[in-house]
Amino acid sequence: MDTHPKMIYLPDTMLNWPWPRTINPHFEDVKAEVGASFRDFKALSPESQEAFDKCDFEHIRIGCELMNVFFLLEEYTDNENGAVTKDMVDLVIDALNNPRKIRPEGECILGEIARQFWARAIQTASLSSQRHFLETFTAYLRAVVVEALDREQGHRRSIDDYLKLRRLTIGAKPSFTICEMGMDLPDEIFYHPVIVELAECSTDLIIIGNDMVSYNKEQAAGNGDHNLISTVMLELGLDSGGAIAWAAHHHAELQKRFIDGLAKVPSWGPSVDVLVKEYLDGIAIWPRADTCWSYEGQRYFGTRGLEIQQTRLVQLLPKAERKAA
């Protein structure tokens, strides 16, 4: 079996997804404002800043800033060991829980960026959404440390174990709270089994879509272990094409489960139901948004994203040679 085909076929998993691509009408203005303030931190190398500037984020101010925080956390931790990553995570958690506290002199810039982001967010976010964000974002941060430990130790996970961790490291759940920041969504709704199941389905759709498009770049850089395609290849003995086909089939099953699950959402009364629908529409749009960003940005495919979105074919990149320790 040829485990290294020269071309990879990326199926159009979102072809029949009922939620279309949409752009917030205030996107361009907010993107410019947030991008300018983020550049003021000078937190990235010139090369990383250039890559960042090529990214588009499909959210209003809080969402834009959260995407910036995710980008920066990934940039800083992707190649670090567990101890260094934990130190960074701890200071971000401290900053989020103490947004009015002046950060220590000489501290990693992540702390001040997180502090400023959250200090602005809490001015307009509902109290329930603040609680939900802090809970889910902290879980995401702790999972980033686990990922770093896996990377450091060369630990490979089973498909089930990988998905358990990836549901946290993908950062979807804290991102979903952006959809409820303008409403008071009670815990009885946020944690209702049907709502939780729908959120998990959407999260898994995002995982599959993201891991498909990022696989080529990550395997080439030698960072492919924390990726569903690599995990499926290892456990099921498939080549990349077979693993992508397996993931696409699972994606289709999840789409059906999500749509079927909407019919099971209970009613909490007309005034609440309209908010629940708005929240669920928000988390349903996320898989579409992530797919659009993957092809329209330049993080994974450079300037060829839209072309690859049409042809569905991408050239397999050669693996970079690892430097001797």
pLDDT in tens, 37-88: 555 555 545 554 454 444 433 336 788 889 889 988 988 998 899 999 999 9
pLDDT value of residue 56: 38
Residue-wise pLDDT for 266-286, tens only, equals 999 999 999 999 999 999 999
pLDDT value of residue 295: 95
User: Which CATH number, 1.10.10.10, 1.10.1370.20, 1.10.3300.10, 1.10.600.10, labels domain 7-315?
Assistant: 1.10.600.10
Low pLDDT (below 50) residues in the chain: 1, 44, 48-49, 51-59, 322-325
Q: What is the DSSP string of 3-64?
A: SS-SEEE---TTTT-SS-----TTHHHHHHHHHHHHHTT--S-HHHHHHHHT----S-HHHH
Query: Could you give the CA distance from residue 236 to residue 321 in angstroms, rounded to a whole number?
Result: 26
Helix, strand, or coil (residue 315): strand
Q: How many CB atoms lie within 10 A of CB 164?
A: 12
Distance of CA 110 to the CA centre of its chain: 18
pLDDT value of residue 324: 39
DSSP β-bridge partners for residue 161: none
Nearest Cα neighbor of 212 from 248, 237, 238, 236 is: 248
95's tokens = 């900053």
pLDDT value of residue 307: 96
pLDDT value of residue 47: 55
H or E stretch including 313? Answer: strand 313-315
pLDDT value of residue 325: 34
Nearest Cα neighbor of 131 from 121, 141, 145 is: 121
pLDDT value of residue 99: 96
What residue ranges do the domains of the chain occupy?
7-315
